[in-house]
Homo-oligomer: A and B are copies of this chain.
Amino acid sequence: MTTDYSGGGDVSKSLELLWGMQQRPTRGPKPGLTLERIVEAAVAVADAEGLAALSMRRVAAHLGVGTMSLYRYVPGKAELLDLMLDHVAGPVTEEPAAGEPARAEPGDWRAALEEMARGVWRMCLDHPWYPLVDQVRPLLGPNNMAGMDALIRRLQPTGLGDRERVLMISVVDGFVSAVARSQVNAMQAEQRTGITEEEFWAAQEPVLIKMMESGRFPTLAALHENTFTFTYEDVFEFGLKVVLDGLAVVVEGAGRARTSD
């Protein structure tokens, strides 16, 4: 099927599983597995062997059960992916217990978005399959909703409308996910092919040199030698600053509009 999409299965079934709404039937033998264990096994397989290697057979083998046994707990692979996504969103470990300290801080929106960006980035390194799953149609599980709630709250002092605040989050999240996806793809390309990044570019070098000498690409030929020696982390840091600087323009615009009211 090559799923790799969130919300690709039976939505209401996924939601029931996410929020734990289901009564155990009284008849029949007791189940030998739990949803929790299956989801954890799936995450373990994906962490260790990559998203491409995540299969129902592999997950079952990891648990020491037959493949089809999983289908007693989960409608299919698509729904299992939804559960994995909310699972790694984890119990939000925020500790705002110290009496709402950040509320008055005027620049806190920037810190809030930067923390989110770095959190997503870190999670993508911990679970390299995460940015490879296309999160259209995100299932709203408990962990993700809690994170969203807290983040939107911290954007409140900007005075922006609900739509703008959600758009800001979309832009930051979209950017971070994109760079993270490139990053883990590069790592996995190295494992999959056994060819390092350096070796890959070295393989292109003969053709490149010939083309540079042809005079067809004068600007490329004139580029400094170390032009392409940046890491994905460099792109992340550079781009995060750019995006936040751009969002600052939006926030300041709203601030000016309010004071002139």
- Which A positions have Cβ atoms within 8 angstroms of B? 2, 5, 7-8, 11-12, 15, 19, 52, 134-137, 139-140, 145-146, 148-150, 152-153, 156, 161-163, 166-167, 170-171, 174-175, 177-179, 181-182, 185-186, 189, 192-193, 195, 197, 200, 203-204, 207-208, 211, 216-220, 223-224, 226-230, 234-235, 238-239, 241-247, 249-250
Residue of B nearest to A11 (CB): B203
**Contact of A219 with B152 at beta-carbon distance under 8 Å, contacts A166-B228, A200-B7 already known:** yes
Residues of B near A134 (CB, < 8 A) are 181-182, 185
Residue pair B227, A163 in contact (C-beta under 8 Å): yes
Task: Knowing that A11-B195, A19-B211, A136-B186 touch, tell me 8 more A-B residue pairs with CB under 8 angstroms.
Answer: A2-B52, A15-B203, A140-B211, A166-B228, A167-B235, A174-B182, A178-B178, A242-B243
Residues of B near A247 (CB, < 8 A) are 242, 246
Residue pair A170, B235 in contact (C-beta under 8 Å): yes
24 contacts across the A-B interface (CB closer than 8 A): A2-B52, A8-B192, A11-B195, A15-B207, A19-B211, A135-B182, A137-B200, A140-B207, A145-B216, A149-B218, A152-B219, A152-B223, A156-B219, A162-B223, A163-B226, A163-B227, A166-B230, A167-B234, A174-B235, A175-B178, A177-B178, A243-B246, A245-B249, A246-B247
Residue of B nearest to A199 (CB): B11
Residue of B nearest to A212 (CB): B145
Residues of B near A249 (CB, < 8 A) are 242, 245-246
Number of copies: 2
CA distance A88 to B234 in the complex (A): 29
Residue pair A145, B11 in contact (C-beta under 8 Å): no
Residues of B near A136 (CB, < 8 A) are 182, 185-186, 189
Chain B proximity of A92: nearest CB distance (Å): 12
Residue pair A174, B179 in contact (C-beta under 8 Å): yes
Residue of B nearest to A217 (CB): B149
CA distance A139 to B204 in the complex (A): 8
Residue pair B171, A235 in contact (C-beta under 8 Å): yes
Residue of B nearest to A247 (CB): B242
Residue of B nearest to A202 (CB): B11
CA distance A192 to B19 in the complex (A): 26
**Contact of A145 with B15 at beta-carbon distance under 8 Å, contacts A171-B235, A189-B5 already known:** no
Q: Which of A137, A195, A197, A245 has the most CB of B within 10 A?
A: A137
Residues of B near A223 (CB, < 8 A) are 152, 162, 166
